[in-house]
Each structure stands twice: as structure tokens, then as C-alpha cells.
Structure 1
Amino acid sequence: MFRALLMTPVLAAGLLSVPAAAVAAPAAAFTNPVSRPFADTFADPTVIRGQDGLWYAYGTGDPLRSGEGTAHRIPIARSSDLVNWAYAGDALTGAAAPYVAPGASYWAPDVRYLDGRYVMYYAVTDTTASADGSDFAIGAAVAPTPAGPWTQQPAPVVAPRPGGGGGYLSTIDPAQLTAADGTRYLYFGSYYGGISVVRLSPDGLTAAGAPTLVALDNKYEGAYVVRHGAYYYLFASSANCCAGPATGYSVSVGRSASALGPFYDAEGVSLTASQVGGTPVVTQNGNRWIGAGHNGVVTDLSGQDYLVYHAIDRDLPYLDEAYGINRRPMLLDRLDWTAGWPVVRAGAGPSDTPQAAPAATGAQTFAQPVRWLPAGWRVSGGHATGSGTVLRPAPAGDLRVEADLRVPAGSSAGLVVGASRVLIDRAAGRLTVSSAGARPAGAALPAGLDLGTWHNLAVSVRGRHLVAELTEARQSGPIVSVELTAPAAGPPVAGFTGRGDVDNVSARSLFRPVTRAIAGPATGRLVWSDEFTGAPRAGWSWVRPDAAVTVAGGKLNWPVEAGDLTGTSNSASVLLRDAPAGDWTAETRLTLDLGTDDVRNYQQAGLIAYAGDDDFARLDVVSIWNTRQIEFGRELPYAGSPAYGGITLGTPATTTWLRLVHRLGPGREHLFRSESSTDGRTWTVGGVWTFPAGARPRIGLAAHGGATPAVTARFDYLRIYQP
């Protein structure tokens, strides 16, 4: 097959010249936040590449700039390279839909290209369903281009849902997915009601069935689902998005073989279990960024995935006045897949230093006529249309080639990469891959998939392995994928073939994957311990002694007391000792039977780094309504009041190991990283809270939050290690 192509005049014409746009050099490095040129805050971002070859970002409807004072109605930003963005107007500029109450806000948009038009899903904070100001719904608008004009649909996709405990369930944070069988789904929800998924009508504008719960209430919100390999991955954010300088928002993930779940984390724990699962994707690392969450996923032209999300500068947490609108700019960071799980920068977390920019430019858009198209092809309406084969020189080595294609009924069209040909065959209803010397491969196309509208076909060749993926506008992973082992290499050429319309053609060197997560610092040698085999060792001291605490049976036994430390209560007991100088790690093993499913707000126990009643970081196993979580909470003084927020990490068990890893950062700032384990061997690394240089945090234990029902926290030891 490929030898025949080499002999055609089409190839010769294709080799005459290479437009710079087709093989553009990588863009310069970038530094977060990428929304800096147009916005001080751009929360809950999502990104799509438009059919015009540009990238579009959409965010929650806050004011964009400090001092602006007026909320936007889904602001839009536009970029040619994913890192330099400009404001492109608001999406919802017309009259509100009939079901939207006056004064409602528009949150958390998700934009998709479905069957030839753009569909935007968004949360509406107030509707005419009731006089309740929080009768949330999921709305939709459609547009011919990613910049609009957007036409709001007259009815919600998901209507307000009354809650069994009163009020309305949190019907917010939509995210659409087209599954491998072509079925369209919408994920939505938040803490009151959990995250659910519902099947959509074929046009994507109406819920068509009962929702299925995929993540337990009181734990997750901000769903985003992608298909990667054999699994669907549910990304979701936890904790408080908007606690100013104490915001610990972060992203975790579970995966499933089905778009309907159940989703399990890396330890095999379900996201709907009372002891809630979730594998960390991104959380704060001790630099300027805290509250990293509510993400989308975007793939550059080399095939590298990126997480787009918001975060808060801990030194500039509010847009204007303290305890007002949180300032949440948009960040972009590389998303790696290590051992089958997604993680930002191999576990390094949000970046605040220059990073290599995505390979986001260089696609051939056909916005203007090109001279290298052979006979049989022409530029029309901003794309190429015709029949035949067009080949161009391509980078040597591992390669990713992609294009947007429209295939007429009964025809086929696709891509050529070296000696391999990948075709969307509408007549046969298959995606096929063939290569000299290799057994052909293929997969059926979902029934009802409208390939007369634009779809993206991407072909990646790494060594002797080829993967072809068909997606809707490059979003959420493939609808159909085919793999071929040992394709013939062929010459370094790439192009398109068949009959139909072609746009946004690119051939880029394939990204080099990072497949191993970075290792955390070693625990070091044991320098001090209290194993609680007799009287407590010297050096312990109390804040508000608790006479009920005993040492017996090789454990420190602490009946969980009714006090607390958050806000102005400051009534809980704390057992402390001085921390050593320099870097160190404190570890305990805690047995705390909080049961499952019932409400025990907020019984908890664990480790604490304590500089004062309003200045502490607390790593606890805790009951939060019907869930059991591990929370790394932080209270600190800010603008005359104590601010409190928390990071969640890992999955608790009846017996849970906890660690606080202390390191001295720049300027001798205190960095405390959280870790947890259910077996004492495999550790989940959580987020970081900081204390300023000059602070003298002590290390200790606590057990409080509620005395009913009676439960005792049992600490096996406190051990301190140093490098």
C-alpha cells in the first residue's frame, strides 16, 4: 500500500515545501497563573480547542478584576498557545432563560462540541422552582462557535431536586462525557447530594433517566471524567473551595470500567463508601498556591495531558475585601499517568516557577488558501475539502498526527503516518488501522455517531506501537480507539487521505511520558519515641488537661471529648511536646472506630502541630456527616479573625497510620506535609500547610469534636524521625 502511495504525484506535491505553521517550534516557557493577562480570578475553568484552531477557556461568573464589582455571565478567554490568554467576552449576554430567577449566578461551565454545535452546561444558583434561594439547576446553551453567540435553552437539563433533609440538593458543577458506546452522560453534584451521573438525550440537552450516585455526598464536587486506556477516571474536588488563606481544596480521582461507575481509588476503595476513597491528583505543596481544585483536562498537540484548574495565592487570597470573593486564578500544569493513575507533575503539585509550555501551536487551520494542496483538494470555508492522499514531511522518531475530519455518508477518510493508514470507514461502520507487514486492526463505530460533523482523529506512534483515537473535539478521551503492534516504520511523512473535509492538521514529535511519581523525602532514623508501655515519657505537657486520658495496654487511650479548637471555641485538650530543631517526621498509629454511614459531627483524633489555639495544623481521622475522612485542617489568624479550612487525603480505616513531615522551607518557613496509610507500609501523600518563620509549633495529639456516641481514640505510639 505505502509503496503505491510513494509513486503518486500527490506525494511529490506534498514534499515541495513545509509551511512553518505545520511544524512550529514549541512555545516559550510559562509561569502560573496563566489567566494573569486578563483576570485576577477565573474559577472552575474548562478548556476546549475550537474548530478555528484556537483554545477557549470558560470560568465561573465572578468579577474578573479586583475593584470591578460586577459579576460576569460565564466569561470566555481565548488563546493560540494555551498559556497567553485574552478576554473574549461573556457567553450569556441575552435574556435569562424562563426558569432562571432574577439575580441568579452562573457557575462552573463545561463546554463540548456535539454534532456540529457547541453546547455549554452550567450551574444556575437560583430558579423559579421555589422561593428558596438555593434551588440549583443545570442549564445549557448552544452556539455555532466557541465564542458564541450562545442561545440559552428554555428548560434546564437537570431541574432542581428537593433534598430528603429539606431544601434542594446541590445540582451544580456539570461535566459531559460521550462514552465508548456513543451514549452521552452528564455528571453533576456537590456536597449535599453527592455526585451523580445521568444519561442524556442524543442531542445532549435533556436528562433521560434517573441519576446514579458515583461519589458520596459530603466529600466531593467539581466532577470531570475522562477515558484513558481501559478505564473512565472521575476527577473530583474536596474540602472548602473558598476559605481564603486556609483554603485546602484539592483534586482526587477514582476509576471504573463503566461510565456509570462504581469508581474505585488506587487502594480499591469506592468513592461511594462511607470511609470515602480517592487517590490524590493535585494538592498544595507549600509554595504560594493553596486550594488547587475544580479541574478540566486538555491535551496538547504532542499528546501530553494538562490539568487546568484554579488555585489561591496564600498571600493574596481575596479579590477585594477580606472574607469576600476568593481570588482564584487559572493554573495549568502537566498531568502525568504513573502506574495507571493521573497526578500533576509526577506528584510535585502546582507550579510557581517557569514550566515548559505545551505544544499547542502549529496546526494547519486552512484559514487561508495554501499552495501545496494537490489537485482534488481545495480550501473552502476555512478547511480543506476533496479526495485523495496528501502527505507532508514529518518529524523523525515517535510521532503524533491528528486532524479534524468530516466524512460523508458511504465514504472513508483518515490519516497516514509513515507506512500506516488509519481510516474512519462510514460505509463499514469501523475505525480501521493497516500497516505494511502487520495484521490489520479495527473497532466498530458506535451506532448513531454523526461523522458528518467534525470529529478529531489522532494517531500516536511510539516505537513499534500505534494507537488511533477518535474523539469529539479532543475531549474526555476516545470514543473509539484501536491499537496496532509492530507497524512498519516507513518514511517520516504524515498526512490525510480519503474523501471529506479536513482541518487542524498537525504532526508533532510525540511527548515523552513521565511514568514514575517522584519519591518523597526519606523518614530517616528514629530519634525519639513514646511507645506508651508505661507512664508517659518526660516532656509532655497539656493545654487544658483531660483527666479521662489513660495509658494502659501499650496505648494512650483518649475518650473523644466534646470540645473543639476551631473558631472561638478553643475548648479542646491538646497533649504536646517540643519538636526537635530542623527537619523531622512525626508518626502515630491510631485506632478509632467511628462506625460508618451515621452522623457523628465532628468526632476526630490524630496529630497536631500547635502554635496556639488559633494557629494550628491538625491531621485527623474525622467523621463529617455520613462520611469518614482524613482531614489536614489549618486554622490561622487573618484580618482579625481565625480562618479555618482543610485538605482531605487518603482513606481512613479503623486503624490508620498518620504522619506529619516537617521541613524548613525558604526563609526558614515551616512546611508540614501530611501522609496517611492503612497498613503502615504504603503511604498516601497529602497537602502541605505552612507556618511563618519564627513560629514555634509544637507536636502532639488530640481527640475531640463530640462525646456522643462514646468512642475512644487509642494511640499506639508517637515516634519522631530525623534525616
Structure 2
Amino acid sequence: MRRGPSSSWGWRPLRALFPLLGLLSLSACQGKPSETLPPVTEPEPPTPAPTPVEGTFTNPMKISIPGGSLVENCPDPTIIQGQGRDTAWYLLCTADPLNDEDRDVSREYKQRLIPILKSEDLVEWNYIGDALSTRPSWAKADSDIWAPEIAYFNDKYHLYFTVVETKAGGSAIGVATSDSPAGPWVIAERPAVEPHEAPCCGNSKRWTYDPEVLITANGDKYIYYGSYYGGVSVRALSEDGLTSDPYTQVEVTVANRYEAPSIVQHDGYYYLLVSSANCCNGPLTGYGVFAGRSKSPYGPFVDREGVRLTLNRVGGTPVLGANGNRWVGTGHNSVFTDPGGQDWIVYHAIDRSEPYLAPAPNGELPPKRQALMDALDWVEGWPVVRGGQGPSDSPQPAPAARANEKSRYLPTYVEHDAPGALLESDEFEGTSLGSPWSWTRESKAVHGVGEGVLRFDTQAADLHENDNSASILWRPAPVGNFLVETKMSLNLPPVSCCHNYVQAGLLVHTDDDNYVRLTHVSSWETRQIAFSKEQGPVVPAGHPRFGETFGGPADETVWLRIARRVQGAEELYTAYSSRDGATWSRTATWTHSLGASARLGLVSMGGAGFTATFDYVRVHELRP
């Protein structure tokens, strides 16, 4: 405030008293330590509130190509924001054709060597070229290049990628460096992870696929990699990021369950997100994402129930899976946090109504894996997509792409399907099966009722496409919505290989070729909860009849649920499993049209020598 003459004159008498006041002050403070007044500081200007982002996006991500077409195939996406003055976002994909027309003069599909996509707002994307112009010198000339991973450190961008076939034999992880995500990229002369044996088997070549780099808060670097044959491992990465130390290698998942590792640091934990099941099975692709967490980059990684991802009865908390809309095969993800603090997951998925690119000249149907993005939320310390809603197919609030922005996204949390009123049950309290049970291909040698359980020995038989030899115990299903549940024990050994395809569990079916099936199954080293779908016998040319996805951890005794919800002309079948009857893991949702004549069934099959015991079968109304 500017002073007037009167206020200026009013200070003159006080100024004359200042020396005397100083002497009085010194006299009063004799014998006491002197005190220094704190400096006067100006208050910090208030931080402006983040600006809400007004836009929306709809899956699949909109990615334009110069000339007007779109990128409709972007498997295994990885994402990064530029550093320094470059505030754009970059998405890189596996070396695949971009769309139906991405072909050479002979009409063969082009294999783009890691397409680069760029965006300023995380909504509108553009294809700007390929990262690599050639393969590494140590790669076979026609090797596939898969699963890029991009990281920034030491003032350089580092691009890691899978070389499927090396001149030395086996697969390896390559690395290239650049000053920009847009390139040019310089390929290192040796692999970051060399071809090597699977942990199980000497003189083998493991699947050295799917790199992921972790940089900790203190600057330590690690590289995760691996796939079904050999599992997922982690190694220490060199300071320059160009090599890894094989003597530090630790296996962080059991073999034959997981691939495509992604690491997220959250609230003091390292979360390992890994994908499971077949990535590329057209409209019956069961790919999904699971999580375990650890306080150490080397693990052990355990799921929400404390089950390790390295156990044969394998752990894993579901993060992302099919939810009954158009998207199946949701997996191989990358996670980023936007400038407003919201986490997002980018991943590929298959539209079950358009699962393939146009046929190749040899008639093969390449899978069409499109790039998707959704919000990632945290529920009681565990990641879940859109509060449990899963992949989106409607407009969603856009992420924040720039500093001082905030997404308008707010999570909507979804409850599990739950049983309502009991409609019917069988507690197996007698000595024989009564009405309304019936058998398809009954074999009296493999079943019996007594002591409150149904005993059902596993058979050297199957229920898979053209092999329909297994016995089915069934009863009519209710019309409309319902939830069917059983408690079952299967005496598979907890650790051994392999008893492949031995399984037992629940079935909802109309005949041998049309069903959904939820079982505890042995597969190579693992014991898993598998949720399968078969349709047919007539399907479009080149399309599958059978697909499978996986659920939470298994145990000798498990509780299994299948919920049916009628939605328009389709029926949505959602599976759940539990190890204690109280804590449930949601598996995924298959759509099917089993109709009013559907049956509820039990199976025990895949190989002789084991026994499943069922405590009960209960059918409930499905709680709204």
C-alpha cells in the first residue's frame, strides 16, 4: 500500500527512540543468549488446480496411418512419455502387419519391425514409422521380432525386443538405443539376454521372450523375461542396460503358466503382472492378466491369498479378463501413470466378431490383436481394471496427457455375482443318486455315493472337440439366471509332472459340443483352475471350436461357481473359484447360447488313476 504524508511524518518520533530502545533491550537480555529473528519469507504462490480433461476415448485406440487408414493390429504394446522438451507419448508394438492391406506386391503381409505410434493427448494416435530397419546381426535373417519394451535411463531411450530365432539357436532379447523414441535406433552387437536352457531341462532352449525392465528408486536395473516353456525369470541388468548377469537369474513364476511380465511399483510393493492362456485363438482366445507382489524385485511374488506364482498349484490374482462384451484375449499389458496420478493399462485384445485379419495367400487367418487402454484401479492393495468391470467398449474419460491436467475418470467398483435363494440341491447324503440326475455314457465302475460325498474316479476319456468319450453326470438347469456351486476335492499330487489334462469339475452344456466347463486341471508342471468353452461342431472355416482361460489359485479342495446371466440374445457365463469357500476369485466370462434345454453336469476325466469327490451341488437364484 502506498503511504500518504501523514503516515510518513508519524514515523519520525519513533525513529528517534530506536537507539534508546536498543539499549533497554540489551540491558534486559544480559546473561541470556542472543536470539536471531527468522527471516521473512514470501508465501509460496498457490498451486493451480489441475485442469479436468474434457475428451473421451473409445476402444480400440484410434491410430491413424498417413493416407487415411487405421492401425488395426498392435500386439504386445509398450508405452512411454518423451523426456525433456518432448512431451508426446509413444506406443510400440510387435512386428506385425498394421491392417488387412499392409502387404507387399505379392500380397504377403508385411512384418513391420516394431511400429511406432505417437500421440499428444493419449487419444488420437499416428503411425510414424518402424523402430528397426534391419534385424540384429546375430538374428536369423527371417526371424520374427516380438514384444518390445521401452525404458529411459542414462539420458538414452533403450528398446528391448524378442528375437525369436538366433543364428546360435533359440530365442534371445535384443536391445537398441536412441536419443528419441522416434529413433533412429542403434542395435547393440550382442543380446541383452542370450539364448539359454529352460530351468527344468539341460540342453534345451527356453522361450526367452517378452522383456520388461524395472528401474528401482535407487537406480538398480532388472530385466524380466520368459514365457510358458521355462517360465518367467529376472536378472540384474548392467549399468548401461546392454547386458544382463546370468548368475543373478531367479525364476519368479512356475513354467507353463505365465508370460509377458510387466512390473508396477505401488505403495511399497513390486507388482508382477503376467499374462496366461492362449494369446491368439480367435474368438475363443482366453488370454488374461494376473498379479503377484513382493517387497523385492527378485520375489517371491505372492497373490492376494499368499500363494506364490512359483508353486505348482499356481498363484495369481486376476486383474483383467473377458467380461462378456466384444473383447476377448485381453493381455500382454503395459502400465503407466498419467500426469494427474491415475494409473492406466494398455494391452491388446481380440474383437470376437472380427477376430482375424483377412486371409493370407496361403489361407491362414492372422489374429487381429487391437490396442486397448483402460483405467487401472487399486482395491485393497490389488490392481483391477475399471474397478472390476474389465475391458471397455463404450466411451471413457480420457487420461491426462500433460502436466497440470487431471482425468475425469472415477472408478465404479463391481461386486462378484452372489447366490440368492436356494432353488435346489443335492448334498449326496444317501447311498445312491436319485432324480433328477442322469448319465451320458455311464460307467458304474467310476462312481458311487456314500458318507456324504459323490465319488467320481477320473477316466482315461475326454470331452474335447471330436473326442467325446467321458461320462457326464447331469441334471436340468433352471431357466433364466442362476448360480450353480459345488465343493470338490481332487487327489492330484501337489508337485509332479505331468498328469496332463486330468481334471474334474462343473459343466453347463446342451450336448457334447456346446458347453462351458470349470475344472481343476493338471497341465505340465501346474495345477490350475480352467474355464473352458466349446462350440460346434460346425464353425466358420479357420475358427476354433474350443477355448480356455484360467482363474485364481487351486488346491486339493476347491469351491467352484458358474453364474449364468441372460443378456439379450446371449447368455453370459462367469466363473469363480475359492480355496476356502469364503474368498472368491473371478475367472472370466464366456458368452454362449445354450438355451432353455441347458443341463448342469459334473465331469472327472483326462486320465485314469485319481478320484474327485463332490460334497454337494447347489443351485441358487442369481442375486440381482
The interval holding the TM-score normalised by the smaller chain is 0.7 to 0.9
Q: Secondary structure at the match of 2:397?
A: coil
Give yes or no for contact 1:596–1:626 (8 Å, CA) kept in 2: no
1:124-273 equivalences under 5 Å are: 124-130=163-169, 135-163=170-198, 164=201, 167-210=204-247, 211-273=249-311
Counterpart pick for 2:366 among 325, 339, 345: 325
State yes or no: 1:303 paired with 2:341.
yes
Give yes or no for contact 1:277–1:651 (8 Å, CA) kept in 2: yes
CA distance in 1, matches of 2:596, 2:144: 41
State yes or no: 1:691 paired with 2:589.
no
Partner of 1:577: 475
The one-character-per-residue Cα deviations of 1:259-307 (angstroms, maximum 9, x if unpaired) are 1100000000000011000001111111111111010001111100001
Counterpart pick for 1:714 among 593, 613, 616: 613
Partner of 2:111: 71
CA distance in 2, matches of 1:517, 1:234: 22
Percent of aligned pairs with the same residue?
44
Partner of 1:337: 378
The one-character-per-residue Cα deviations of 1:94-128 (angstroms, maximum 9, x if unpaired) are x3222100110111100011111100001011110
The alpha-carbon distance between structure 1 residues 341 and 86, as it changes in their structure 2 partners (threshold 3 A), is: same
Partner of 2:578: 677
Give yes or no for contact 2:561–2:576 (8 Å, CA) kept in 1: yes
Partner of 2:148: 109
Give yes or no for contact 1:611–1:697 (8 Å, CA) kept in 2: yes
Partner of 2:11: none
CA distance in 1, matches of 2:283, 2:246: 41
Partner of 1:600: 499
The alpha-carbon distance between structure 1 residues 642 and 549, as it changes in their structure 2 partners (threshold 3 A), is: farther
Q: Secondary structure at the match of 1:605?
A: strand
Partner of 1:561: 459
Once the two structures are TM-superposed, the CA of residue 258 in structure 1 deviates from its matched residue by 0.3
The one-character-per-residue Cα deviations of 1:110-162 (angstroms, maximum 9, x if unpaired) are 001111110000101111013xxxx1110111111000001111111111113
Partner of 1:634: 533
The one-character-per-residue Cα deviations of 1:387-445 (angstroms, maximum 9, x if unpaired) are xxxxxxxxxxxxxxxxxxxxxxxxxxxxxxxxxxxxxxxxxxxxxxxxxxxxxxxxxxx
The one-character-per-residue Cα deviations of 1:19-50 (angstroms, maximum 9, x if unpaired) are xxx96551411110114543111011111001
The alpha-carbon distance between structure 1 residues 645 and 40, as it changes in their structure 2 partners (threshold 3 A), is: same
Q: Give 2:603's aligned amino acid.
A: A
CA distance in 1, matches of 2:481, 2:270: 40
Q: Give 1:560's aligned amino acid.
A: T
Give yes or no for contact 2:52–2:406 (8 Å, CA) kept in 1: no
The one-character-per-residue Cα deviations of 1:430-477 (angstroms, maximum 9, x if unpaired) are xxxxxxxxxxxxxxxxxxxxxxxxxxxxxxxxxxxxxxxxxxxxxxxx
Q: Give 2:453's aligned amino acid.
A: K
Q: Give 1:34's aligned amino acid.
A: M
The one-character-per-residue Cα deviations of 1:283-336 (angstroms, maximum 9, x if unpaired) are 111111111101000111110000101111111111123862211101100000
Give yes or no for contact 1:611–1:695 (8 Å, CA) kept in 2: no
CA distance in 1, matches of 2:390, 2:348: 13
The alpha-carbon distance between structure 1 residues 159 and 2, as it changes in their structure 2 partners (threshold 3 A), is: farther
CA distance in 2, matches of 1:510, 1:326: 32
State yes or no: 1:58 paired with 2:92.
yes
CA distance in 2, matches of 1:77, 1:177: 23
CA distance in 2, matches of 1:233, 1:27: 31
Q: Which runs of 5+ in 1 are unaligned?
A: 364-505
The one-character-per-residue Cα deviations of 1:667-723 (angstroms, maximum 9, x if unpaired) are 23111000001111111111001113757432211011111xx11000111110014
Give yes or no for contact 1:299–1:305 (8 Å, CA) kept in 2: yes
The alpha-carbon distance between structure 1 residues 690 and 557, as it changes in their structure 2 partners (threshold 3 A), is: same
Once the two structures are TM-superposed, the CA of residue 193 in structure 1 deviates from its matched residue by 0.4
Give yes or no for contact 1:35–1:42 (8 Å, CA) kept in 2: no
Give yes or no for contact 2:77–2:148 (8 Å, CA) kept in 1: yes
State yes or no: 1:648 paired with 2:550.
yes
Give yes or no for contact 1:110–1:174 (8 Å, CA) kept in 2: yes
Q: Secondary structure at the match of 2:283?
A: helix
The alpha-carbon distance between structure 1 residues 201 and 243, as it changes in their structure 2 partners (threshold 3 A), is: same
CA distance in 1, matches of 2:298, 2:321: 26
Partner of 2:105: none
Partner of 1:45: 77
Q: Would you say how many aligned residue pairs link Structure 1 and Structure 2?
A: 560
The alpha-carbon distance between structure 1 residues 642 and 291, as it changes in their structure 2 partners (threshold 3 A), is: closer
Give the TM-score normalised by structure 1: 0.75
CA distance in 2, matches of 1:82, 1:602: 43
CA distance in 2, matches of 1:583, 1:167: 50
Give yes or no for contact 1:243–1:643 (8 Å, CA) kept in 2: no
Give yes or no for contact 1:567–1:642 (8 Å, CA) kept in 2: no
Which has the larger share of strand?
Answer: 1
State yes or no: 1:122 paired with 2:161.
yes
Q: Secondary structure at the match of 2:41?
A: helix
Q: Give 1:48's aligned amino acid.
A: I
Give the TM-score normalised by structure 2: 0.86
Partner of 1:473: none
The one-character-per-residue Cα deviations of 1:206-262 (angstroms, maximum 9, x if unpaired) are 012421000111110000011111100000001111111111100000000001100
Partner of 1:499: none
CA distance in 1, matches of 2:39, 2:250: 49
State yes or no: 1:80 paired with 2:92.
no
Once the two structures are TM-superposed, the CA of residue 166 in structure 1 deviates from its matched residue by 5.7
Partner of 1:385: none
Higher-Rg structure is: 2
Counterpart pick for 2:449 among 551, 559, 565: 551
CA distance in 2, matches of 1:657, 1:297: 32
The alpha-carbon distance between structure 1 residues 309 and 185, as it changes in their structure 2 partners (threshold 3 A), is: same
The alpha-carbon distance between structure 1 residues 166 and 571, as it changes in their structure 2 partners (threshold 3 A), is: farther
Q: Give 2:391's aligned amino acid.
A: P
Q: Secondary structure at the match of 1:275?
A: coil
Q: Give 2:580's aligned amino acid.
A: D
Q: Give 1:553's aligned amino acid.
A: E
Once the two structures are TM-superposed, the CA of residue 513 in structure 1 deviates from its matched residue by 6.9
The one-character-per-residue Cα deviations of 1:77-97 (angstroms, maximum 9, x if unpaired) are 11111121111111011x322
1:329-368 equivalences under 5 Å are: 329-360=370-401, 363=402
Partner of 1:443: none
State yes or no: 1:526 paired with 2:422.
yes
Once the two structures are TM-superposed, the CA of residue 546 in structure 1 deviates from its matched residue by 2.2
CA distance in 2, matches of 1:25, 1:587: 45
